[in-house]
Amino acid sequence: MKPKIKICGLKHPDNIREVIALGPDYVGFICYPGSKRYIGRLDAGWVAKLNGVKKTGVFVNAAIHEVKAAIQQYNFQAVQLHGAETPAYCAELADLGVEIIKAFGISEQFEWATLTAYDPVAHHYLFDTQSSQYGGTGKRFDWKLLAGYTGNKHFFLSGGISAKNIADALSINDRRLYGLDLNSRFETAPGVKDIILLKNTLQTISNE
């Protein structure tokens, strides 16, 4: 089964329209002010009316009432939680009917046992490169570390995925690989996606 495609870090309306026209399964909006791809002044009402793709709000240690408000304002169908959010925090958001994607930064020191507590409350995991920036670094972690993951929950692969290594990502033989998260390596500037590069890469994926 081909992986789902999530294109993350969008913030400019014209660029967002072009990305959605490519037919990804998910698009991600960074709601973390510390990110270069922070949605900032993007009109929430405009985003709320976008259809045809699962809109995902990306948060880092935000107050839960802020996340709930954003879900309503932007009409997010999924939330990606990139900080130290607890299982109880995730469960409270899951009760709203949104898909919960819990992200973890992976390194050789990562304790895979950490995931067990999130199994009942997360719909998917997202494995990214460990960094103080909470993602968007363009750096790839050692995908061999995925061998340490012994759980059953499906996951998105993130962190440094590019047009040059997309074939390697697609060759990962893991039934739990649910989706690929495409972000900084497909940009002309932070938050501005290279439509031609994305189009060609999605074509490569569909031909595999």
Instruction: Catalogue all structural domains in the chain, each as residue range(s) with its CATH number.
Output: 4-207 (3.20.20.70)
Instruction: Enumerate residue ranges in the chain where pLDDT < 70.
Output: 132-138
pLDDT number for residue 28: 98
User: Cα(154)–Cα(148) distance, rounded to whole angstroms?
Assistant: 14
> Residue ranges of the alpha helices (H) in the chain?
13-21, 44-48, 64-74, 87-94, 166-170, 195-207
Non-local (6+) Cβ contacts of 9 within 8 A are 28, 30, 35, 37, 136, 183, 184, 187, 190, 191, 193
32, 29, 23, 20: which is closest to 4 by C-alpha?
23
Residue 196 phi/psi, 5-degree rounding, is: -65, -45
Query: How is residue 141 annotated by DSSP?
Result: P
pLDDT number for residue 80: 98
> What does the block give as tokens for 101?
């994607």
- Strands 187-189 and 99-106 turn out to be unpaired
User: Cα(126)–Cα(106) distance, rounded to whole angstroms?
Assistant: 10
pLDDT number for residue 134: 56
- 3-state SS assignment for residue 115: helix
Non-local (6+) Cβ contacts of 162 within 8 A are 138, 185, 186
